[in-house]
Structure 1
Amino acid sequence: MPERIAFVSKVSFMASPASAGDREKVVSKLPGWLRQDLKVRTAQLGIEIQAAVTQGITDWCSLAATPTAVDTSGADSFSTWLPPGQWDTFKTTAADRKISLTQGLAQAVQLWLQKNPAPTVQRPENPRRIIVCNQKGGVGKTAITAGAGEAMAEDANALHPVRISKHFAAALLKNNDSESGGADAAPFAIEDLPGLGLRVLLVDFDPQCHLTQQLDHAPLPMDGDSLTKHMAGEPGGKLRDLIVPIEDDRFGDRLHLLPSCNDAFLLDVKLAGVRAREAALERALAPVESDFDVILVDCPPSLGLSMDAAAYYGRRRENEPAGSSGALIVVQAEDSSADAYALLTTQIEDLRADLSLDIDYLGIVVNHYDARRGYIATSSLAAWMDIRDPRVVGVIGDLKEQKEAVRVKQPLLAYAPKSDQAVGMRALAREIS
């Protein structure tokens, strides 16, 4: 740590010959709200805090008049690196304007924020459609559907911890020799990043209604309207009226759910008599698509007609970029998942060939991973990683937070936003966004 060599008012000046670009370290004070706004905005724009403060001070010193005062009550320690000589110029300007250095710095940061507004959320031209699937039950399709959707809907004007590693699965395997094991034992970088801020619809397409119940909603009544009835050409009203919000501050009004109904157990039978039955899900959801940026479909553990309809819905449409929509396959690090994966991909390939469709694979998610289960788990993960198309896009640990969130019927990212599973869901959302 370089030696502190001077104090001025509430600001101290520190020099470090080892700092990058021969910058000088300044320790000052900023109110917490302003420091947080600066942290969020620089993350949104992808620039360093020191660059923002440098530009803010430059612009502030060039002003012809002093800006409106900023409330600096409760200001706390704040440090950054400035180019040599800039702090002396700033001190002189603050003295000329007869304001404290803390007030001057707050005005400079506020000025930079005003000149650099938050970017608008980049919304797809057409809604992306992600079908979360595997004909094997119990692999955690529902958890992945909910977690990825929640991560996509988080506030873009707030920071959330995200696991950063382009080679997470490979690094995880190398870490399997650690004493604790498990997905949360790996020393991966965690970075605070802005939320994606997308408008998300979670579609519970499973007659077991797990997604609906886990998010604290009741299944739709058998004698009422449902997605099944809309797909069968027997709607009892508007599909939009069935959609409910997932209410939590971190999601704002961006996260919604289309609940399931137990009548979905009869869907394959009903679809057998429907014309162009493979397009039934698309026809049903078409009226609400424009309300959302991303639609995630929690598919049933089935290889029947309902899965055909889901795969068709996730196909690449005309003029849609490759990899925007498609199938996200959830597996576990064990042998039976491999058998189910083969059956599922065979069905998708048959549908591709029969109807001349482009159905993209968005990737494989290895769920419920725990290296402490030994060779079966680690060797299975290695086998999944050997698949290049689709590639592994996420590994989610088998940890207690997801089970607890289900028990209390709360979204995982609201119940345990800093848990290893939550930071992994955010990484997954970015991998497939």
Structure 2
Amino acid sequence: MASPYPDGDREKVASKLPSALQQALKVRAAELSVDIQDAVEAAVNDWRGSTSSGAEVDTSGAKSFSTWLPPGLYEQFKETCTDRGISYTQGLAQSIRDWLDANPSPQHGARGTDPERKIVGNQKGGVGKTAISAGIGEAYAEAGKRVLVVDFDPQGHLSEQLGVPQIEPNHDSLVSHMCGEGRGDLRDLVVEIDDPRYQKRLHVLPACFDGFLLDAKIAVVATQKRGFQKEAALELALRPLEADYDVIIVDCPPSLGIAMDAALYYGRRRRGEPAGVSGVIIPVLAEDSSATAYGMLAQQIEDLCEDLSLDMDYLGLVVNLYDSRRGYVATSSLDNWKSLGDPKVLAIIGDLKEQREAVRKRMPLLTYAPHSDQAEAMRQVARGATR
């Protein structure tokens, strides 16, 4: 391969880098109008100039990565890796990660403190809302974004799957803050997922058993407090946390009630926010009952938008637990979902074992099986649901 740089200005370097970091580097360089080679050069120089190698990056499954660096820089980089007792792949991964952290996306800065808000919902249970909420949260965090996943379903499956205890009744919780009864800082309830893959960027707001009474509690508050807008209750509770995150994901219960209205309101397009940044992700199955539930949710969204003059974006559908061996019902249903066009199908996730095994072990899917088809599908959904 001929060098694109004349007069020996640069030399080709062949190494390895995790696919998530490769993707994040490509996107960030494009956002900042920086050549990828220049970004890698800056990353390596800054890393070599730091006093230590920093936190370890999970490089399992790293893939081939080629770039062009000034002559001699890669040899100097390898010497630094040897001095610090780490592999060249680990050193490059740390360099790129640190560069991404030091050069944040201008998309976040342009929106001030408004994070991207992804509402994962469907009126049918068992379609994989929880698995997809957790999976895309892991994918965003893996790619360098600060993520809060809100377990908004009182059944608490997301909290349980990630090994996070639910909040007991009559304790400070998201529900109490939504009802104006919060006794402390909601940040104190947030749990960090302790896993080096996410570099302290993946947080969970646990479910609480009081959530089963949320609709009734909010209805009572609405009658007692003049000017209280029940649909805005979730937003009022989460607003103080927003500056801490790039993405907030809400795992919703299968509900037609006030709680779902509040989640949808939270995911509306805010004033000045570009279309397609925040909105609704809808997991479905390739079967008729999912189509019925989708119609119910679409009607709820339409009614809410009409009543409150909102703009709501459908970020896409995720066809989950798909297995073509189930025959005509599955294949024809998949064709029907694809034919909608808008919302688009973000990914088709097979009915595979890794997600179930991760749940049994109470581990994030992208930690348990980072190179599985299901894990890659979660990354695909996250990419597709981001403008």
Deviation sequence 1:124-157 (CA, Å, 0-9, x none) = 2221111100010000100000000100000xxx
Aligned partners of 1:314 and 1:326 also within 8 Å: yes
Deviation sequence 1:246-285 (CA, Å, 0-9, x none) = 1100101100000001110000101112221010000011
> What secondary structure sits across from 1:139 in the alignment?
coil
Q: Could you tell me which of 288, 295, 309 is aligned with 2:241?
A: 288
Counterpart for residue 261 of structure 1: 208
Q: Could you tell me which of 232, 239, 250 is aligned with 2:179?
A: 232
Give percent identity, aligned residues only.
55
Whether 1:131 aligns to 2:101 is no
Q: Could you tell me which of 312, 320, 345 is aligned with 1:367?
A: 320
Give the Cα–Cα distance (whole angstroms) in 2 for the partners of residues 80 and 222 of structure 1.
54
> What secondary structure sits across from 1:250 in the alignment?
helix
Q: Could you tell me which of 154, 159, 174 is aligned with 1:207?
A: 154
Deviation sequence 1:298-336 (CA, Å, 0-9, x none) = 001101111111111100111001111111111011110
Aligned partners of 1:326 and 1:359 also within 8 Å: yes
Q: Could you tell me which of 232, 241, 246 is aligned with 2:188?
A: 241
Give the Cα–Cα distance (whole angstroms) in 1 for the partners of residues 339 and 23 of structure 2.
38
Give the Cα–Cα distance (whole angstroms) in 2 for the partners of residues 297 and 22 of structure 1.
46
Counterpart for residue 118 of structure 1: 99
Aligned partners of 1:366 and 1:392 also within 8 Å: yes
Aligned partners of 2:170 and 2:210 also within 8 Å: no
> What secondary structure sits across from 1:207 in the alignment?
coil
Amino acid at match of 1:146: A
Aligned partners of 1:41 and 1:118 also within 8 Å: no
Counterpart for residue 75 of structure 2: 106
Counterpart for residue 388 of structure 1: 341
> What secondary structure sits across from 1:216 in the alignment?
coil
Counterpart for residue 35 of structure 1: 15
Counterpart for residue 273 of structure 2: 320
- Alpha-carbon deviation of 1:384? 0.2
Counterpart for residue 25 of structure 2: 44
1:179-194 maps to which residues of 2 (within 5 A)? none
CA separation of 1:297/1:105 partners in 2, compared to 1, >3 Å: closer, same or farther? closer
> What secondary structure sits across from 1:339 in the alignment?
helix
Amino acid at match of 1:136: K
- Alpha-carbon deviation of 1:105? 5.9
Counterpart for residue 153 of structure 1: 141
Q: Which structure dedicates a bigger proportion of its chain to strand?
A: 1
Q: RMSD of the TM alignment (CA)?
A: 3.3
Q: Could you tell me which of 369, 373, 376 is aligned with 1:420?
A: 373
Aligned partners of 1:38 and 1:109 also within 8 Å: no
Unaligned runs of 5+ in 2: 6-10, 30-35, 42-63, 81-91, 223-227
- Alpha-carbon deviation of 1:35? 3.3
Q: Could you tell me which of 269, 272, 287 is aligned with 1:334?
A: 287
Aligned partners of 2:148 and 2:247 also within 8 Å: yes
> What secondary structure sits across from 1:427 in the alignment?
helix
Deviation sequence 1:94-138 (CA, Å, 0-9, x none) = xxxxxxxxx786249899x99xx9352315222111110001000
Aligned partners of 2:15 and 2:66 also within 8 Å: no
1:41-120 maps to which residues of 2 (within 5 A)? 44-45=25-26, 106-107=75-76, 118-119=99-100, 120=103
Give the Cα–Cα distance (whole angstroms) in 1 for the partners of residues 380 and 135 of structure 2.
11
CA separation of 1:79/1:243 partners in 2, compared to 1, >3 Å: closer, same or farther? closer
Deviation sequence 1:355-414 (CA, Å, 0-9, x none) = 100011111111111111111111111000011211111111110000000000000000
Counterpart for residue 8 of structure 2: none
**Length-normalised TM-score, structure 1:** 0.68
Counterpart for residue 158 of structure 1: none
Counterpart for residue 166 of structure 1: none
Give the Cα–Cα distance (whole angstroms) in 2 for the partners of residues 145 and 300 of structure 1.
12
Aligned partners of 2:12 and 2:66 also within 8 Å: no
- Alpha-carbon deviation of 1:223? 2.4
Tell me the matched-pair count. Answer: 321
- Alpha-carbon deviation of 1:43? 7.7
> What secondary structure sits across from 2:210 in the alignment?
helix
- Alpha-carbon deviation of 1:38? 11
1:13-32 maps to which residues of 2 (within 5 A)? none
Aligned partners of 1:204 and 1:259 also within 8 Å: yes
> What secondary structure sits across from 1:219 in the alignment?
coil
CA separation of 1:351/1:223 partners in 2, compared to 1, >3 Å: closer, same or farther? same
Aligned partners of 1:384 and 1:392 also within 8 Å: yes
Aligned partners of 1:325 and 1:360 also within 8 Å: yes
Unaligned runs of 5+ in 1: 1-18, 57-77, 91-102, 155-194
Deviation sequence 1:334-357 (CA, Å, 0-9, x none) = 110000000000000000001100
Whether 1:142 aligns to 2:89 is no
CA separation of 1:232/1:276 partners in 2, compared to 1, >3 Å: closer, same or farther? same
